[in-house]
Amino acid sequence: MKPAYYKIIILAGIISLACTTRVSEWVLLNSLPNQYTLIYFHNSPLNETFKKQNLTIADRIKTANIQFKTVTRQDIKEPYYGLYYEDRLFSRYNNPDEFRNLTTSPLREKIAAELMAGKLCVMVYLMTDDKEKDEKGLQALKKALGASPFGKIITVFELSRNSKEEALFASLLLNVEDDLKGIQEPMLFGVFGRFKALEPLLGRGISEENINLMIDYLTAECSCLIKDDLPGTDILFTDKWDNPQPALLNKIIDENLSLGN
From first to last of its 261 residues, the chain has per-residue pLDDT tens of 445 444 544 444 444 344 578 999 999 999 999 999 999 999 999 899 999 999 999 999 999 999 999 999 999 999 999 999 988 999 999 999 999 999 999 999 999 999 999 999 999 999 998 999 999 999 999 999 999 999 999 999 999 999 999 999 999 999 999 889 999 999 999 999 999 999 999 999 999 999 999 999 999 887 655 556 788 999 999 988 999 999 999 999 888 866 755
Q: Are residues 61 and 26 in the same domain?
A: no
Asked whether residue 79 is domain-assigned, the answer is: yes
pLDDT, residue 21, reads: 85
The structural domain count of the chain equals 2
Asked whether residue 1 is domain-assigned, the answer is: no
Asked whether residue 226 is domain-assigned, the answer is: yes
Q: Are residues 134 and 204 in the same domain?
A: yes
Give the alpha-carbon dihedral of 19, 25, 29, 31, to 10 degrees.
80
The domain boundary residue, chosen from 99, 134, 149: 99
* Separation of alpha carbons 77 and 67, rounded Å: 24
Sequence-distant (6+) residues with CB within 8 A of 125 are 134, 137, 138, 141, 156, 157, 158, 159, 186, 187, 188
Sequence-distant (6+) residues with CB within 8 A of 55 are none
* Separation of alpha carbons 44 and 47, rounded Å: 9
**Which amino acid, residue 149?**
P
* Separation of alpha carbons 154 and 222, rounded Å: 19
The domain boundary residue, chosen from 83, 99, 115: 99
pLDDT, residue 18, reads: 47
Q: Which domain, by its residues, includes 40?
A: 36-99
List the Cα angle 257/157/176 in 5-degree steps. 95
The domain boundary residue, chosen from 61, 77, 99: 99
Asked whether residue 142 is domain-assigned, the answer is: yes
* Separation of alpha carbons 77 and 253, rounded Å: 59
As to burial, measured by CB atoms within 10 angstroms (0-12 exposed, 13-18 middle, 19+ buried), residue 69 is exposed
* Separation of alpha carbons 81 and 41, rounded Å: 6
Q: Are residues 165 and 109 in the same domain?
A: yes
Q: Are residues 24 and 109 in the same domain?
A: yes
Helix then strand count (H, E) for the chain reads 9, 12
Q: Are residues 16 and 127 in the same domain?
A: yes
* Separation of alpha carbons 9 and 102, rounded Å: 33
Asked whether residue 112 is domain-assigned, the answer is: yes
pLDDT, residue 226, reads: 56
* 67, 54 Cβ separation under 8 angstroms: no
Asked whether residue 143 is domain-assigned, the answer is: yes
197 alpha-carbon distance from chain centroid:
3
Q: Are residues 117 and 176 in the same domain?
A: yes
Q: Are residues 57 and 12 in the same domain?
A: no
pLDDT, residue 236, reads: 97
Supply φ then ψ for residue 257, to 5 degrees: -60, -25
Q: Are residues 161 and 46 in the same domain?
A: no
Asked whether residue 179 is domain-assigned, the answer is: yes
Q: Are residues 157 and 224 in the same domain?
A: yes
* 233, 196 Cβ separation under 8 angstroms: yes
The CATH number covering residue 245 comes to 3.40.30.10
Q: Are residues 63 and 178 in the same domain?
A: no
Sequence-distant (6+) residues with CB within 8 A of 108 are 169, 195, 235, 237
Q: Are residues 43 and 133 in the same domain?
A: no
Asked whether residue 212 is domain-assigned, the answer is: yes
Q: Are residues 174 and 111 in the same domain?
A: yes
Can you state the angle between helices 208-219 and 23-30, rounded to 10 degrees?
A: 60
